[in-house]
Structure 1
């Protein structure tokens, strides 16, 4: 599909996971470009603060919708509210909300905490598409953005739920792009690498000693800027930082990194504890 640049001024965007991290910075960046926003996250107070900050800067005030996307059906309800707010004309949906869980799959199994990760990371974006694609097709335009993760190519121990849910979303994104290839709808995958946010998985792993040395994480602001640049130029995949392309394009490298790093994780202790921690919807 030929790249179609997006002029963000006046564009109507539904953004999930907007209260913190990349989502918050993305809301600020999009608003500064003149986009009209519906923003969603669990915490109403953080959404209200963000809305006030954007309005105080002289940009269109976002419409905040407090939503817990770990609840089945919440995504469809959010889409309906956004459509109603925008007069049934949404140009872009950015599925940025994420949830994670650190722990042993052999102990956690399909517990509710594990199912929550999939509800937020996979089922929510798919539900959004089902709710919004018909309207986009009727209007003859639209963009669906799925935020995945570099972890899809680095299968670290104890991060199986987060990694597999993001891998599933990445595969679904590629498939959806082909499904919609003969339509005016654009499908974009955003692949963040190491970013200094609350969902940074390396901080949650139980290391035997010190964590391995890695490249410094990038800031949420720089990630948001990269996403906005990619959307404006019509990219189908936005990877930031750029070195994160290595495990994506050379999966053997990602598996090697996971194998070497995995030896330093206290997996035996995790098997005793089972569930180490979860981080809810952003």
Structure 2
């Protein structure tokens, strides 16, 4: 991949959910391109290591806690000297059949995936520069629910509707919703029941809901940050909804 590594020089960006996976990879890509980066998530020890690696600043943040969001976002803005972009990648994927999904699980999924994203956007809005951009990670599978992830799918569908409301009430905001498809090297399966996962993977494969090749993590991250830098550089246009789908190599199609 060839790209101008200075295309985001000086861009001040806050990445929420950066302790691992896609969020971490976005932070690394942003720093490589010259952005000033603040990272936030619950696992501060991982964030401290990341901040040292990329020359950024780290903040401990649980997005289920509104007071914490309202404290951390202004602190990140102060550390960065302003705010040009926010990238929200925090997510939780509870694995359970719908009849086994408890009330607390539903609440947890919506608190992070839906309400947490909205609360971060709310806290950041007053600090965003005039050409500021907010990118929120959603799911490629919204509207096509898979077995075993009802709370996740429903919370991401609700998130899409929340973002439509934000655009409707605040048309001055550049809010990009990105539906991300299956991606390699994330921690999405961390802590999941292995027996249940085996059953679900078989079912998803049978139903054509699991690709033969997932997207590569660095490619997804670079695409996300490219959307941010592109929207910031072209402020009269907003790529409101983007879908990232794994591209299947020709060699696999020929098998």
- Scaled by the length of structure 1, the TM-score of the pair is 0.72
Q: How does 1:87-166 map to 2 (within 5 A)?
A: 87=81, 89-111=82-104, 113-136=105-128, 139-166=129-156
Report the secondary structure of 1:98's partner residue: coil
Report the secondary structure of 1:148's partner residue: strand
| Conserved? CA contact 2:213–2:247, under 8 Å | no
1:238 aligns with 2:242: yes
Identify the match of residue 178 of structure 2 among 166, 190, 203.
190
- Higher RCO by CA contacts (8 Å cutoff, separation 6 or greater): 1
Q: Following the alignment from structure 1 to structure 2, what is the Cα–Cα distance between the partners of residues 209 and 236?
A: 31
Range with greater deviation from structure 2 (25-34 or 211-220): 211-220
| Conserved? CA contact 2:11–2:34, under 8 Å | yes
Deviation at 1:242, TM superposition (A): 6.2
Q: Structure 1 residues 36 and 156, CA, compared in 2 at 3 Å: closer, same or farther? A: same
Deviation at 1:77, TM superposition (A): 2.4
Deviation at 1:206, TM superposition (A): 4.8
Identify the match of residue 58 of structure 2 among 48, 58, 64.
64
CA RMSD of aligned residues (A): 2.7
Report the secondary structure of 2:18's partner residue: coil
- Scaled by the length of structure 2, the TM-score of the pair is 0.79
1:38 is matched with 38
Q: Structure 1 residues 73 and 152, CA, compared in 2 at 3 Å: closer, same or farther? A: farther
Q: Deviations over 1:210-245 (max 9, x none)?
A: 45263211121110111122223333333223669x
Q: Deviations over 1:87-108 (max 9, x none)?
A: 4x21111111111111134343
Q: Following the alignment from structure 1 to structure 2, what is the Cα–Cα distance between the partners of residues 208 and 96?
A: 24
1:53 is matched with 53
How many residues are paired up? Answer: 227
1:84 aligns with 2:78: yes
Deviation at 1:208, TM superposition (A): 7.4
Deviation at 1:72, TM superposition (A): 4.4
| Conserved? CA contact 2:214–2:246, under 8 Å | no
| Conserved? CA contact 1:44–1:65, under 8 Å | yes
